[in-house]
């Protein structure tokens, strides 16, 4: 039997932590002994978040992850940091002729800017501690397999930027024992995705709890050598 990952005494940020995947990641981290700091912007996001009353989960309201100053203030409040996991993002589909510049800009802000600013603030804090740390981003299958981005070009472009950011940053901070990686899911088995695609083979989709285990390993001290990886987490698709 594999040994459980140990996050006891470690502070971990989870952006997008109130979502379906975020809740699964927070659950796994709490079970592993971590203290999770979860920024959020919309109060309604807490309606289905099962950990809002847990002492190990620190919620930070009114945190706009596209606002550089707000992100900086959030990270400045942390009592320390071991890992920063960046799940915040969004999806927009549609052909290129129906996808306006406004939609593209929104995809870049939601997926790339949030990730970049969180990475920047996390690295700044980790460098102060001189103890190393971990960063995990979320790309997507179209970020690795561009032809899969047909019909969702704005989304594919934004997630490809997250992939490039991950690999470039991993090289930049490796000497500081900060290991940066990303997972690249296919369609995640969430209630929203099931509602959007009721006739799809849901059994083939990767489950949030399964993705959480991959993310936790990349964010753990047990990961000693993996950096700059874009890990496909496609399930059976």
Express each pLDDT in 145-160 by its tens digit: 999 999 999 999 999 9
Among 178, 172, 174, CA closest to 134: 178
Average pLDDT of the chain is 95
CB 186 within 8 A of CB 237: yes
Report the pLDDT averaged over residues 2-29: 93
pLDDT tens, residue by residue, 213-225: 999 999 999 999 9
Report the pLDDT averaged over residues 52-79: 97
Give me the percent of the chain exceeding a pLDDT of 70.
99
How would residue 76 be classed by pLDDT, with cut points 50, 70 and 90?
Answer: very high
Q: What is the pLDDT of residue 52?
A: 93
Quick check: 74 pLDDT over 70? yes
Quick check: 8 pLDDT over 50? yes
pLDDT tens, residue by residue, 96-146: 999 999 999 999 999 999 999 999 999 999 999 989 999 999 999 999 999
CB 76 within 8 A of CB 63: no
* pTM recorded for the entire structure: 0.96
3-state secondary structure of 185: strand
Phi, psi of 205, rounded to the nearest 5 degrees = -75, 145
Quick check: 1 pLDDT over 50? no
Write the DSSP symbol of residue 94: B
Report the pLDDT averaged over residues 59-66: 97
The CB density around residue 69, as the number of other CB atoms within 10 Å, is: 9
Query: What is d(CA 110, CA 67) in angstroms, rounded to the nearest whole number?
Result: 11
Q: What is the pLDDT of residue 190?
A: 85
More confident residue, 78 or 3: 78
In this structure, of 19-23, 160-164, 192-196, 215-219, the range with the lowest mean pLDDT score is 192-196
What CATH homologous superfamily does 11-233 map to? NAD(P)-binding Rossmann-like Domain (3.40.50.720)
Query: What is d(CA 7, CA 148) in angstroms, rounded to the nearest whole number?
Result: 36
In this structure, of 26-35, 89-98, 169-178, 187-196, the range with the lowest mean pLDDT score is 187-196
How would residue 4 be classed by pLDDT, with cut points 50, 70 and 90?
Answer: confident
């Amino acid at each position: 039997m594999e040994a459980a990952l140990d996050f006891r005494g470690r502070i971990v940020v989870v952006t997008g932590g109130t979502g379906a995947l975020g809740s699964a990641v927070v659950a796994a981290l709490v079970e592993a002994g971590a203290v999770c700091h979860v920024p959020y912007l919309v109060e309604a996001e807490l309606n289905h978040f099962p950990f809002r009353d847990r002492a190990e989960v620190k919620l930070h309201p009114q945190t706009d992850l596209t606002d550089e100053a707000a992100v900086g203030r959030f990270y400045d409040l942390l009592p320390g940091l071991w890992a920063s996991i960046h799940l915040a993002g969004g999806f927009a589909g549609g052909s290129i002729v129906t996808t306006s510049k406004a939609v593209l800009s929104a995809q870049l802000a939601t997926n790339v800017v949030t990730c970049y600013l969180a990475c920047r603030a996390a690295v700044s804090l980790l460098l102060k501690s001189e103890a190393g740390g971990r960063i995990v981003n979320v790309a997507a299958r179209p970020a690795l397999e561009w032809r899969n981005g047909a019909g969702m070009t704005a989304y594919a472009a934004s997630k490809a930027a997250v992939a490039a950011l991950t690999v470039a940053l991993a090289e930049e901070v490796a000497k500081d024992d900060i290991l940066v990686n990303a997972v690249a899911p296919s369609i995640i088995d969430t209630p929203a995705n099931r509602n959007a695609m009721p006739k799809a083979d849901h059994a083939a989709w990767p489950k949030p709890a399964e993705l959480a285990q991959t993310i936790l390993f990349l964010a753990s001290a047990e990961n000693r050598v993996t950096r700059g990886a874009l890990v496909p987490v496609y399930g059976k698709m």
